[in-house]
Structure 1
Amino acid sequence: MSDRAGQVRPDSVARRRIVRRRPPQQSLFSGIYGLVMASALVAALDATGGRAEPGPDALWVLLTALASGAAHGYAHVIAQRASGDGAATTSRLRSVLAEWPLVAAVLPTVGVLLVAVAGWWAEATAVDAALLFNTVALFGCGAWAARTAGHGWPSSCRAGGLDMLIGLAIIVANSLLK
């Protein structure tokens, strides 16, 4: 067995091993917001006792995400304007377009609802699948953010678990209200 205590790695090698791709804070924020919004919308649009209409539900989820992303981006524009920076610049348009992760986060939910439109699943099954996917994705986002911040696996899993509680709360509320 060799003695590794005497071996020293150059700084560049050590740094390269611990550098992880950090999620942009705005993308992570918008993505998590989109996942929670998609879960709440799909749970609220789930027909109880009525005729299942997954197509219009998918459209509503997508349109709501587009409207929310545009509204959130425009709120940034208003805040920039209120801070005294009144000049119209391309950065304002970028503020609105930077909300794309919110829309991207709802696409799996829209896709699952479209599977129900195709008749492969019942709408209730699609809603359950979307809620489960979004809950697992919330765990993944929380754990990924913690890992890239330098936390160990146990701490990252706890962070992911706490984020996952939001999805579980929506699932429990959906079950209780239906």
Structure 2
Amino acid sequence: MSDRADQVRSESVARRWITRHRPLEQSLFGGIYGLVLASALVAALDTTGEKAEPGPDALWVLLTALASGAAHGYAHVIAQRASDDGAATTSRLRSVLAEWPLVAAVLPTVALLLAAAAGWWSEATAVDVALLFNTVALFGWGAWAARTSGHGWPSSCLAGGLDMLIGLVIIVADTLIK
């Protein structure tokens, strides 16, 4: 009897922790979008036959993420302006600044490219590690989102696996194009 009560109590504690640490929809959107963007960019910037330039490639990944985040946030501002009175408000500035998860999601890829620029490894290795990291992170984001919305482990892993497919498609495309 005591074992069952302890199990129920630990499940409710785990459920409360998951609910309290639920990712915001904006964070999920930005994180997943940023990971896919970073993967696509790093795969496109690493071309065979060209001189490896991981430093400028890292800068391009970061600048593209900043521009994408700003453009997405500004699109929200324009949509709000069209539906409201058109006055500038602090909530509109917050719409632009709320795109930080997109930029944060590309930082591991930028760090890996900067490590290659420092000579710690080749750019090709940095690209491979970035693609692998981003693919695994997509699985994690997908599984976490499903768990926090109340799904069990099997369906959460399935959701994570489906998100991970995006990264695998980029890896396969990168391999086939080169």
Q: Give TM-score, length-normalised by structure 1.
A: 0.92
Larger Rg: 1
Match of 1:24 in 2: 24
SS of aligned partner of 1:86? coil
Where does the alignment leave 5 or more consecutive residues of structure 2 unmatched? none
Aligned residues: percent identity?
78
> How far apart are the structure 1 equivalents of 2:68 and 2:95?
13
> How far apart are the structure 1 equivalents of 2:106 and 2:119?
21
Higher helix content, 1 or 2: 2
Please tell me the residue identity of whatever aligns with 2:35.
Answer: L
Show CA shifts across 1:3-42 (max 9, x none).
Answer: 767x69999x975542222100011101100000000000
Equivalent residues in 2 for 1:106-125 (5 A)?
106-125=106-125
> How far apart are the structure 2 equivalents of 1:4 and 1:119?
55
How far the C-alpha of 1:87 sits from its partner, in A, is 2.1
Show CA shifts across 1:101-156 (max 9, x none).
Answer: 00000000000001100111111111000000000000000000000011111110
Match of 1:43 in 2: 43
* Large movers: runs of 4+ above 6 Å: 8-11
How far the C-alpha of 1:86 sits from its partner, in A, is 1.6
Q: CA RMSD in A?
A: 2.1
Match of 2:99 in 1: 99
SS of aligned partner of 1:51? coil
> How far apart are the structure 1 equivalents of 2:31 and 2:3?
43
Match of 1:79 in 2: 79
CA spacing shift, 1:9–1:122, aligned 2, 3 Å: closer
The number of residue pairs the alignment matches comes to: 175
Where does the alignment leave 5 or more consecutive residues of structure 1 unmatched? none
Q: Give TM-score, length-normalised by structure 2.
A: 0.92
Please tell me the residue identity of whatever aligns with 1:91.
Answer: S
> How far apart are the structure 2 equivalents of 1:10 and 1:157?
23
> How far apart are the structure 1 equivalents of 2:69 and 2:57?
18
> How far apart are the structure 1 equivalents of 2:71 and 2:28?
18
Please tell me the residue identity of whatever aligns with 1:113.
Answer: L
